[in-house]
A and B are shown apart, each in its own frame.
Chain A
């Protein structure tokens, strides 16, 4: 099955170490995700593309335990639906909302409290109208549970 990104310009997948693409205001320095062409803090239009860190810490989370309305949702619905986690991951200069690869409250609460690292991953989230597999981003507990040392 052909894999396609859920949106163009959202991330650099399928690069070897793909990153999320945000923007940074040349005037006030705020970072947004995804790219936007005007600054939500100072209203400047001098926004520049800016690649975001691949590791961060969990700031808030919940689970999506019932199928979201489709459309727009492209994932499996009905009895094929698989619950997923959702959270805000703090990347140091911006918090991004992302799907999480686990729904385990113990793991996720511990990730918030202990500030253990989460790592950017890419996974299929559904299929589009042409039968392509839609790929999007998520965060997973990092293999080494050390706090974020990168970025």
Chain B
């Protein structure tokens, strides 16, 4: 069995648009907040992992923090970048190599959908030339099939967005803080059927950081440590219905989220029925619906009733994306997964203010998912 790792500090630079502030500067703000939260100084930090899509060298943040000579490894793993930084940082502690480290994620995306060369994703160039190399198109296709197979309505898509924007309104660090009526969400321009404009998150800017140490050291730094009981990463297997595929085999298999989730529950010795507060990848409204089932929180099709009855609300049985998720926060890729951890840590400490889940939640869960079929899951407890 692996050694337990504790999170003793979290920090976040607000997500949104920050003209004139670089990704590195946002990273430094998040690190300073996490250090202050843990009551430690930068010179106490023995190692770091940094994740980003737009910033080539997140480790350059040492120029703003202090040139202490620590090992600082940069990681990029698509939408699961932050989960990779966290996993590597936790494993470094589990290996006994160091006793106090930091995982930081930062990004600064221009507005609009991501654009790339298909060949960098092992896809042929023609796939982009004919207009099929788009992540949003995949998300539309996946939820449209799911809705047909499991009788999910367009109204439920709107309910997801409506909830996440209401939660975002309670979060001073969120990008979008204005609630929106379900009708307005449904009537906004169709981008990829059945997904309308307001059903997608936006790439934006922000940073987040967490300070980690072995569980046995946690009380040196804080009275309310949060323990990282599992972190897992998985990629797609043959037959999974994943983004950027020119073809699929006849055989079908579950997505990488299901594999990462099962492995995380096993690692933590915790089941979905034990989880009190949940963060799911809501790149679009449909993704949150699918991920609720893929992570074991409901059966396929139950989402129609679960959202209608408010079970995913902050005061519900399955509080999902209490800080507004990606829909309210946007997606600075390198930081997004650490924002999820930041929110779970606040919730488990009882420090989430107006959006605090009632009755002292004890177990939190995060899931990241992205192109070309990568998922990361974490389970945290007090």
Cα(A150)–Cα(B224), bound, Å: 67
Asked if A51 is at the interface of the complex by the 8 Å CB criterion, the answer is no
Given that A94-B248, A109-B148 are known contacts, is A125 also in contact with B128, CB under 8 Å in the complex?
no
Given that A60-B145, A69-B115, A88-B141 are known contacts, is A32 also in contact with B190, CB under 8 Å in the complex?
no
Cα(A87)–Cα(B145), bound, Å: 10
B93-122 to A contact mask, C-beta < 8 Å, 1/0: 000000000000000000001010110000
Is the pair B132, A97 in contact by a Cβ cutoff of 8 Å? Answer: yes
Is the pair A72, B129 in contact by a Cβ cutoff of 8 Å? Answer: yes
Given that A60-B141, A62-B137 are known contacts, is A6 also in contact with B247, CB under 8 Å in the complex?
no
Cα(A87)–Cα(B118), bound, Å: 18
- Least CB separation from B245: chain A residue: A97
- Give residues 134-188 of B contacting A (CB, 8 Å): 134, 137, 140-142, 144-145, 148
B120 to chain A, nearest CB (A): 11
Asked if B192 is at the interface of the complex by the 8 Å CB criterion, the answer is yes
Asked if B365 is at the interface of the complex by the 8 Å CB criterion, the answer is no
Partner of B247, one of A62, A94, A113: A94
Given that A60-B144, A63-B190, A66-B191 are known contacts, is A96 also in contact with B246, CB under 8 Å in the complex?
yes
Cα(A117)–Cα(B81), bound, Å: 42
Is the pair A41, B247 in contact by a Cβ cutoff of 8 Å? Answer: no
Number of interface residues of A (CB under 8 A): 48
- Least CB separation from A63: chain B residue: B193
Is the pair A134, B144 in contact by a Cβ cutoff of 8 Å? Answer: no
A67 to chain B, nearest CB (A): 8
Partner of A86, one of B132, B247, B249: B132
- Least CB separation from A92: chain B residue: B250
Partner of A97, one of B148, B194, B246: B246
**Number of cross-chain contacts by CB at 8 Å:** 124
Interface SS of A by simple majority? mixed
- Least CB separation from A125: chain B residue: B130
Is the pair A41, B249 in contact by a Cβ cutoff of 8 Å? Answer: yes
Is the pair B131, A64 in contact by a Cβ cutoff of 8 Å? Answer: yes
Is the pair B148, A72 in contact by a Cβ cutoff of 8 Å? Answer: no
Partner of B134, one of A30, A34, A68, A103: A68
Is the pair A68, B131 in contact by a Cβ cutoff of 8 Å? Answer: yes
- Give residues 95-151 of A contacting B (CB, 8 Å): 95-97, 99, 103, 105, 109, 112-113, 125-126, 134, 136
Given that A34-B124, A63-B193, A88-B141 are known contacts, is A95 also in contact with B248, CB under 8 Å in the complex?
yes
- Give residues 53-88 of A contacting B (CB, 8 Å): 59-69, 71-75, 84, 86-88
Partner of A60, one of B113, B142, B189, B190: B142
- Give residues 1-37 of A contacting B (CB, 8 Å): 6-7, 10, 22, 30-34
Is the pair B130, A99 in contact by a Cβ cutoff of 8 Å? Answer: yes
Is the pair A73, B129 in contact by a Cβ cutoff of 8 Å? Answer: yes
Is the pair B247, A112 in contact by a Cβ cutoff of 8 Å? Answer: no
Cα(A65)–Cα(B194), bound, Å: 11
Is the pair B141, A126 in contact by a Cβ cutoff of 8 Å? Answer: no
Asked if B133 is at the interface of the complex by the 8 Å CB criterion, the answer is yes
Given that A94-B248, A94-B250 are known contacts, is A6 also in contact with B144, CB under 8 Å in the complex?
no
Interface pairs (27), CB distance under 8 Å = A6-B126, A7-B124, A7-B129, A10-B124, A22-B247, A30-B249, A41-B249, A59-B248, A60-B141, A60-B241, A61-B144, A62-B140, A62-B144, A62-B192, A63-B190, A64-B137, A65-B193, A66-B189, A71-B129, A84-B131, A86-B137, A90-B250, A93-B250, A97-B247, A112-B145, A113-B148, A126-B129
B-to-A contact residues, CB < 8 Å: 113, 115, 117-118, 124-126, 128-134, 137, 140-142, 144-145, 148, 189-195, 238, 241, 245-250
